[in-house]
Amino acid sequence: MQNGPTRACMAIHRAKDATRRIGAGWLLTLSTIAFLAMASWTARAESYPERAIKIVVPFSPGGPTDVVARLIAQSLSSRFGQNVVVENLAGAGGRIGAKAAASAHPDGYTLLLGGTNINAMLGALYKNLGFDPNESFAPVAAICVDSMALAISPAVPADTLQQFVQYAKTNPGKLKYGAPPGIYTHFAGEFFKIKTGTDILFVPYKGGAPAITDVIAGHIDMVFNPKSSLLTHFKAGKLKALAVTSETRWPELPDTPTMLEVGVSGFPKEVWFGLLAPTGTPATIVGQLNNAVNEGVKSAEVRATLAKLGIEARIGAAQDFAIALAEQAREWKGVIDATGIKVE
């Protein structure tokens, strides 16, 4: 007959065996769930896209980011056979829209039209964004590269950059320029003021398009904006071009000098635009999007539209876009540091 301690030991062993069996069962169940989830996720990625895709533009309609987004949305829609819609979430220098895109489910159905303005600059400007402009996004594909020009109202009594600088110095604080705060057009204006020793008042706008409208109307005097937004206004005589930031003169404006030619050095020469997805988006979906964007940019229709805007197309892998953004971040950090401005 077994004594009490022996019976107790046997009971303990039986309990341990039962626990091990239960534990093994749970592990098997969890493994099965994980496998099924992975298989389901892979199947969804392979059948992507099954519904409409949204491209978030963190600025108001009509600006360069919006123009590029609508062009690529149309191209993607025709290739995927699904609606691709553009949603403008303007405000706070692009932070509102960028944060919304960063917080979206990483399934490929919410994308960001970003680039220099968001992913290469915000990290140098803000400490508490609520998201990381780099770590929160996976670069998908570059779309195009633009350059900027200094444009002034026809009402300003100057036809060259030298005349404009002299007029600004003679009338300190009288002239005004506009831009959304905290993006490249804002810091181009501030950098210009430092380089030329001028006192020009900054007027904040929600987007580049309203600022251009007001400089044409004479409500403000000057803007820095990309070629894609300004070229038609230059050709129509609605604005005067004083200098461009590119390395060489624009073919469309052969008489307008570069900033370097007029003695203003240090301007980053390019502004990049491209698509990004929330971090965690499956690599297969990123690859599909990259291929679709590249195919679109190669097409005669998209290239013709970009050429009409004076924009240079870019085709390449997602990693190529990531490298370009890193270089842009280094260049624009130099400009931001020179101004001493931190937009909190």
Stronger pLDDT, 41 or 263, i.e. the higher one: 263
Q: Are residues 221 and 164 in the same domain?
A: yes
pLDDT tens digits, 112-166: 999 998 999 998 888 889 999 999 999 999 999 999 999 999 999 999 999 999 9
In a domain, 19, yes or no: no
- Confidence bin at 41 (pLDDT 50/70/90): very low
Q: Are 129 and 261 in contact (CB under 8 A)?
A: no
Cα(39)–Cα(45) distance, rounded to whole angstroms? 10
Domain boundary among 209, 228, 244: 244
Cα(22)–Cα(35) distance, rounded to whole angstroms? 20
- Dihedral sign for Cα atoms in the order 81, 87, 93, 98: negative
Q: What global pTM score does this model have? A: 0.78
* Whole-number pLDDT of residue 75: 96
In a domain, 69, yes or no: yes
pLDDT tens digits, 272-293: 999 999 999 999 999 999 999 9
- Dihedral sign for Cα atoms in the order 343, 321, 42, 70: positive
CATH number of the domain to which 227 belongs: 3.40.190.10
Q: Are residues 139 and 189 in the same domain?
A: no
Mean pLDDT to the nearest integer, 183-201: 94
Q: Are residues 182 and 123 in the same domain?
A: no
* Whole-number pLDDT of residue 14: 60
Q: Are residues 141 and 276 in the same domain?
A: yes
Q: Is the peptide bond before 49 cis (omega within 30 degrees of 0)?
A: yes
* Whole-number pLDDT of residue 7: 54
Instruction: Give the pair of three-digit tokens for residue 195.
Output: 């380089």
Which residues constitute the domain of residue 227?
Answer: 148-244
Closest by alpha carbon to 271, among 89, 105, 148?
148
Contacts 24+ apart (CB under 8 A), 38-42: 41/282, 42/282, 42/284
Which residues touch 31 (CB under 8 Å, ≥6 apart)?
A: none
Torsion of CA 27, 30, 36, 42, to 10 degrees: -100
* Whole-number pLDDT of residue 3: 52
Q: Are residues 161 and 129 in the same domain?
A: no
Q: Are residues 135 and 59 in the same domain?
A: yes
In a domain, 16, yes or no: no
In a domain, 9, yes or no: no
Amino acid occupying residue 34: A
CATH number of the domain to which 320 belongs: 3.40.190.150
In a domain, 1, yes or no: no
Give bridge partners of residue 176 from the DSSP assignment.
201
pLDDT for 24 beyond 70: no
Q: Are residues 134 and 157 in the same domain?
A: no
Instruction: Give the pair of three-digit tokens for residue 303.
Output: 């290239």
Q: Are residues 139 and 282 in the same domain?
A: yes
Q: Are 99 and 129 in contact (CB under 8 A)?
A: yes
In a domain, 98, yes or no: yes
Q: Are residues 165 and 227 in the same domain?
A: yes
Closest by alpha carbon to 142, among 7, 334, 266, 320?
320
* Whole-number pLDDT of residue 25: 54
Mean pLDDT to the nearest integer, 313-335: 95
* Whole-number pLDDT of residue 28: 53
Q: Are residues 110 and 75 in the same domain?
A: yes
Q: How many domains does the chain have?
A: 2
Stronger pLDDT, 344 or 251, i.e. the higher one: 251
In a domain, 256, yes or no: no
Q: Are residues 333 and 196 in the same domain?
A: no
**Rounded to a whole number, what is the distance in angstroms from the first to the last CA of the chain?**
81
* Whole-number pLDDT of residue 253: 96
Alpha carbon distances (Å) from 257 to 235, 266, 270: 16, 15, 16
Closest by alpha carbon to 115, among 101, 130, 129?
101
In a domain, 112, yes or no: yes
Cα(154)–Cα(196) distance, rounded to whole angstroms? 21
* Whole-number pLDDT of residue 142: 98
Q: Are 223 and 177 in contact (CB under 8 A)?
A: yes
Neighbours of 30 (CB within 10 A): 10
Q: Are residues 135 and 57 in the same domain?
A: yes
Q: Residue by residue, what is the 3-state secondary structure of 208-250? A: HHHHHHHHHHCCCCEEEEEHHHHHHHHHCCCCEEEEECCCCCC
Mean pLDDT to the nearest integer, 87-100: 92
Q: Give DSSP secondary structure letters for 32-101.
A: HHHHHHHHHHHHHHHT--SS-EEEEESS-TTSHHHHHHHHHHHHHHHHHTS-EEEEE---GGGHHHHHHH
* Whole-number pLDDT of residue 30: 46
pLDDT tens digits, 223-239: 999 998 899 999 999 99
**How far does Cα 51 stand from its chain's mean position?**
24
